[in-house]
Amino acid sequence: MRVAALVIALITMTASMQSQVTKQAFGKTPDGTAVDIYTLKSGALEARIITYGGIVQSLKVPDKNGKSTDVVLGFDSIDGYTSGPKPNAPFFGALIGRYGNRIANGEFKLDGKTYHIPQNDGTNALHGGTKGFDKYVWKAKEIPHGVELTHVSPDGDMGFPGTLTAVVRYTLVGKDLKIEYSATSDKDTVLNLTNHSYFNLAGQGNGDILNDQLKLNAGRYTPVDDKLIPTGELASVEGTPFDFRKPTAVGARIGADNDQLKKGKGYDHNWVLDSGGGKMSEAAEVYEPTSGRVMQVLTDQPGVQFYTGNFLDGTITGKDGKVYKQRYALCLETQHFPDSPNHPKFPTTELKAGQHFHSVTIFRFSTR
């Protein structure tokens, strides 16, 4: 009897440790398209993904005392993401494509032809143009431990060549939120997929992130011009406010008399990861001392955009009525470098016709 009871207890414990996936309705877009939300649970962790924009709508993570709190910025309803004076302007939690980050003048050349992307960031194209992947409802299906999202971008969409099929899998296993990106195109094109979650490990809306301890495994970064476009230089972080090779408070040097910080109104730059890309390595680690939460970012991408919510200004009210003020969150967007199609010396973002793109990023949570 004791053995049988032990076996039952072990089976129950194993089942409770496995990820659970449920699906619910999350409203409709202004044109009437239904949006669903998938809830992924693994132990004390819970991630909620909506099919509109593939957005991480909520991410609950336990602190050092076991209390779970939502650590990503966003909205309680679909209307927050689709309507208002700045529809989805901060790209809270969204999948970004076809090209994450900036393309100078919304223009690049490929195979001898010049392509034009709508300019939506001054003279730049940002995050795929005026209607990037963040503004579509993705087709979704449940998979083990998560959800698989698919979006087909037609040839010429936002000016990009080729019919591109993008597949993104979110899974939650143990303490890892894993994002797996895949894509194919029927013509040569350029591609830079990422996720734009805004993290506050003290809890969304609970103050700024200036006391967070950040480590970036990068000895170089890409300085920018007045339009936040890389100059092409791979500059050393040595002796600059951009040196996070050892854990350093985000706010320790954010107000330094530094031309690059002034241009970005804080940190809004791409770091060149020491790993060089192509293999899974730790890109970053964030430690929030009050809650004890730790987030590691692992990726096979060559860069990470570190952004300190500089353009949040208190005009957005998010989940639970929380007002999002400047530097109330940070982003760590794993990526290829901004404006790579116009910088031949940067790692290429070209995706050849018929070639299969695949990349993985993991957000791993713990406490100390």
Residue 333 annotated as catalytic: yes
Of 127, 333, 336, 343, catalytic = 333
Residue listed under structure tokens 């001898």: 112
Contact at 8 Å (CB) between 151 and 139? Answer: yes
Query: What are the strands, taking DSSP E only, across 234-356?
Result: 235-236, 248-249, 268-272, 281-287, 293-299, 303-307, 316-317, 323-324, 331-335, 350-351
Of 127, 145, 196, 336, catalytic = 196
Residue listed under structure tokens 């993104």: 168
Contact at 8 Å (CB) between 309 and 64? Answer: no
Is 119 exposed, middle or buried (CB count within 10 Å of its CB: 0-12, 13-18, 19+)? middle
DSSP code of residue 199: B
Give the Cα separation of 338 and 347 in Å (integer): 10
Q: In the sheet where 45-50 sits, what is the strand order?
A: 20-28, 34-42, 45-50, 55-62, 68-70
Give the Cα separation of 100 and 65 in Å (integer): 37
Contact at 8 Å (CB) between 298 and 307? Answer: no
Q: Of all helices (H) and strands (E), which one includes residue 21?
A: strand 20-28
Q: Among all residues, which ones are annotated catalytic?
A: 196, 333
